[in-house]
Amino acid sequence: MNSKLPNIGTNIFSVMSALAKEHNAINLSQGFPDYPISNELIDSVTMAMKEGFNQYAPMIGLPELRNALANKIQKLYQASIDAETEITITPGGTYSIYTSLTTILEAGDEVIVLEPAYDSYVPNIETNGAKAICIPLLYPTYCIDWEKVKSSINEKTKAIIINTPHNPTGYVWTKEDMSRLDELTKNTSIYIISDEVYEHITFDGRQHESVLKYPNLFKRSFVTFSFGKVFHTTGWKMGYCVAPENLMKEFRKIHQFICFTCNTPMQVALAKFLANENEYLSLSSFFQKKRDLFLENIKDLPFTIHEKAKGSYFQLASYEKINDMGDKDFAIWLTKQIGVAVIPVSAFYHNGKDDKLIRFCFAKKDETLLEAVEKMRKLI
């Protein structure tokens, strides 16, 4: 077989979580919570199953769920989204991003990717026969190098992928970033693939700048969201895509032949649970406390924090004062020798660029974070 992805192995999240398990290490690598989810939500799924919601949902998702999402979007982002034509429920955010790219890409197209970038973007582009044009974010602030973005645009540029709040750096796009994006794309046919799965996790009073707030940007956008990040249910693999009708029509043509539809009882439960606004409006303060607890406790350890996470549930740290290993070796060493698993940031670069940084996930119980810090005291 001619591999579609000849240079790709198993993704770093699977590798590090397996290594953590094998060595009984505390897993601050893959991004998922280790605390329980809402009982009300669990009961609601069980109830839906008992009530007989066990057959196919409509291909685009349950109307109750799409309507609840359209209301949420109206309130949060003052955007009028048509639940019937502009929202599709997907099996997770990663799937929504892949399907958006597959909807628009043709062989030879170019897609601008800002690195470090979530590890599925570049393989998703290449699987579609297109080419990723990778532009590094400015180190160590991870601001966007707008001049570079501008000079990378040409007649082959089909799309740009943006991600705010950003995994893995925690950067949060500003209004200024949004207007730069608007300036650069407004007289072009460039699509925007906007990954906003951490929409509710912004710190120190920052606001999430959703593409949905900007009609000029939205008309060319596929926007991805995730229930996993909102209700702490990453294992449910539930998300959704929002796009204007003409784009969504094409997205659905692809979606119906990849997975057809998503599981029904969870859609029933999520539609009801979305009425609890506080569940998502409290996420920023919930995670900010965890970020601060973690930062306060690692401050005596020999890590350097260049920038506090502005959003997401990840914190980057440099380990230069500990040793000069490459970041992958360091992450493996930390897992095996110290008992704490983390993600090497080079995994977010197509060429493995190594700035000697690791990513900690702080979406964990307070005691898990403190236990991890305790283990890392051996580094002093």
What string marks each residue from 29 to 68 as x (binds ligand GLN by CB under 6 A) or -?
A: -xx-------------------------------------
Structure tokens at 235: 């294992």
Q: How near is the Cβ of 55 to ligand GLN at its closest, in Å? A: 29
Strand ranges in 171-289 using DSSP code E only, listed in sequence order: 191-195, 221-226, 239-242
- In the bound state with ligand GLN, the residue whose beta carbon lies nearer, of 34 and 250, is 34
- In the bound state with ligand GLN, the residue whose beta carbon lies nearer, of 157 and 164, is 164
What string marks each residue from 235 to 254 as x (binds ligand GLN by CB under 6 A) or -?
A: --------------------
Instruction: Check residue 286 for interaction with ligand GLN (CB under 6 A).
Output: no
Q: Which of 193, 203, 247, 268 is nearest to 225 (CA)?
A: 193
Structure tokens at 310: 């502005």
CB–CB of 258/267 below 8 Å? no
CB–CB of 196/214 below 8 Å? no
Q: How near is the Cβ of 81 to ligand GLN at its closest, in Å? A: 25
- In the bound state with ligand GLN, the residue whose beta carbon lies nearer, of 220 and 229, is 229
Q: How near is the Cβ of 303 to ligand GLN at its closest, in Å? A: 19
- In the bound state with ligand GLN, the residue whose beta carbon lies nearer, of 90 and 167, is 167
Structure tokens at 283: 């996420």
- In the bound state with ligand GLN, the residue whose beta carbon lies nearer, of 79 and 341, is 341
Position 212, amino acid: L
Q: What angle do CA 6, 152, 192 make, to 5 degrees?
A: 80
- In the bound state with ligand GLN, the residue whose beta carbon lies nearer, of 53 and 203, is 203
Between the CA of residue 60 and those of 55, 227, 243, 249, what are the distances in Å?
14, 16, 13, 10
How many chain residues are in contact with ligand GLN, going by CB under 6 A?
5
DSSP SS3 for 224: strand
Q: How near is the Cβ of 113 to ligand GLN at its closest, in Å? A: 16
CB–CB of 235/342 below 8 Å? no
First-residue to last-residue Cα distance in the chain: 50
- In the bound state with ligand GLN, the residue whose beta carbon lies nearer, of 167 and 318, is 167
Q: How near is the Cβ of 11 to ligand GLN at its closest, in Å? A: 6
Q: Which residues pair with 240 in a beta bridge?
A: 89, 225
CB–CB of 57/255 below 8 Å? no
- In the bound state with ligand GLN, the residue whose beta carbon lies nearer, of 96 and 167, is 167
Count the neighbouring beta carbons within 10 Å of the beta carbon of residue 290.
20
Q: How near is the Cβ of 181 to ligand GLN at its closest, in Å? A: 23
The answer to whether the bond into 302 is cis (omega within 30° of 0) is: no
Q: How near is the Cβ of 167 to ligand GLN at its closest, in Å? A: 5
Q: Which of residues 157-216 bind ligand GLN (CB under 6 A)?
A: 167
Q: Name the strands in the sheet holding 191-195, side by side, starting at the edge strand that comes first in the sequence.
A: 87-90, 239-242, 221-226, 191-195, 157-163, 110-115, 131-136
Q: How near is the Cβ of 13 to ligand GLN at its closest, in Å? A: 3
Q: How near is the Cβ of 85 to ligand GLN at its closest, in Å? A: 29
- In the bound state with ligand GLN, the residue whose beta carbon lies nearer, of 64 and 355, is 355
What string marks each residue from 5 to 34 as x (binds ligand GLN by CB under 6 A) or -?
A: ------x-x----------------xx---
How far is 346 from 355, CA to CA, in rounded Å? 7
Q: Which residues sit at the interface with ligand GLN, rule CB under 6 A?
A: 11, 13, 30-31, 167
